[in-house]
Structure formats: structure tokens, C-alpha cells
Chains A and B, each alone.
Chain A
Amino acid sequence: QVQLKESGPGLVQPSQTLSLTCTVSGFSLTSYHVHWVRQPPGKGLEWMGVMWSDGDTSYNSALKSRLSISRDTSKSQVFLKMSSLQTEDTATYYCARERRDYFDYWGQGVMVTVSS
């Protein structure tokens, strides 16, 4: 069955770079787009960016200068790297599969705290 699972550090120091991995199963990264969405504690959802099935990427312009998304299709993994982290980046980070411009499957999320 379709699964997505995020992994990464729970704590990152301010100004450092966040690295997260989304490992998928039950579908191919070359057939579906995978997005990153984050949610600060007690707040709403923010779309961050997407790894298109053809290997191209698109980013939220608000984060574009700090964000990079890549993948390893052989390992069924999508990676997120975001630099210059600040306390406002404290959030739960989700990866989600897109189906016709909506998200039909979500990972469990990984909580990331930015603090010294």
C-alpha cells in the first residue's frame, strides 16, 4: 500500500541547515509528484515545494532562496534541505503525494524544533 515516511533531526540550531528525507513505498517517484508541506505548532498548513515526477522542482517563493528539494529514485526517497533556519521554522514537516492537484496520501510528519 501507499506509504510516505519523513525522517530527520528533531532539533536544529538557529542559522543551521535542515535536512529531511521522505521515503515512499507503494508507488514510483517517476509516476507521482511529491510535495513538502509544513505546519507550525497550533497553526495552519503551508505549501513549501514539489518534486515533480520528471525530476524538476518548484518552490514557494517565500522560501525559494533557502529551499532545495532533490530525490534518489533508486531508494524511493525525496530530500528537503532548508538553510538559515530560524525559530519561525519550528514546525511539523510533512511530505505528501499529489494526485491531480490535491494530496491523497500524507506522511506521519516529523516535528522539527529550531532552538539553541
Chain B
Amino acid sequence: EIVLTQSPTTMAASPGEKVTLTCRASSSVSYMHWYQQRSGASPKLWIYETSKLASGVPNRFSGSGSGTSYSLTINSMETEDAATYYCQQGSSYPLTFGSGTKLEIK
């Protein structure tokens, strides 16, 4: 099973601040996918295949990485970006998710 480790677990950012969330895989994966989950809501596809933004995702978000190290970056934090972000690998079964990064607004 591929274990995904996200860091940090929790963080707070000020409006306008640049934010980087990381996801490390225990084995190399082909792509990483990211989901945003707001409190009380279902996860939403946010970034797929490492760097492609899902429909409706603002272009202040970006994704990058390869092998075992991936990241999600917000160029300039906005209030609406406060949520929990999960990474997910689809390279091998069982599919696995990271434990999430809770991003709060300062």
C-alpha cells in the first residue's frame, strides 16, 4: 500500500500570502490528485494529474511534483481557500489518500 504523508497537518495563512502544501508518497506514483473539502461538504476534485486545475478552480492554485514528492500552491491566499486539502494517488490499489492539510485564514 502506498502511504501518502501530507504536511503541514494544519496551517494558517494571511490574505495575499503564498501557501504551499506538500504530499509525499512512500513509493513513486505517476500522478497526484488533490481534493478540497469544506466543513460539512463532500470532497471536490481540485487538481488532477498533478497540475491540471479542475473546472472552476481559480488560477491562483497550481500543482507540481513527480515521483514521490508533490505540492499544491496557492499564489495568493484568499478567505474562500480555507478548507482541508487531501492528496490521492491512483497508481496502485488500494487507492489511498493523505491525511489532509487543514488550511485556515489568519
Contacts and interface: CB of A to CB of B under 8 A. Distances in A.
Interface of A: 35, 44-47, 58, 60-62, 94, 100-109
Contacts of A94: 42-43
Q: Which size bracket describes the interface of B in this complex?
A: 20 to 34
A106 B100 contact: no
Contacts, number: 53
B51 interface: no
A87 to B, nearest CB: 21
Interface of B: 31, 33, 35, 42-45, 48-49, 54, 86, 88, 90-91, 93-100
B91 A103 contact: no
Nearest to A92: B42
B86 A44 contact: yes
Contacts of A108: 42
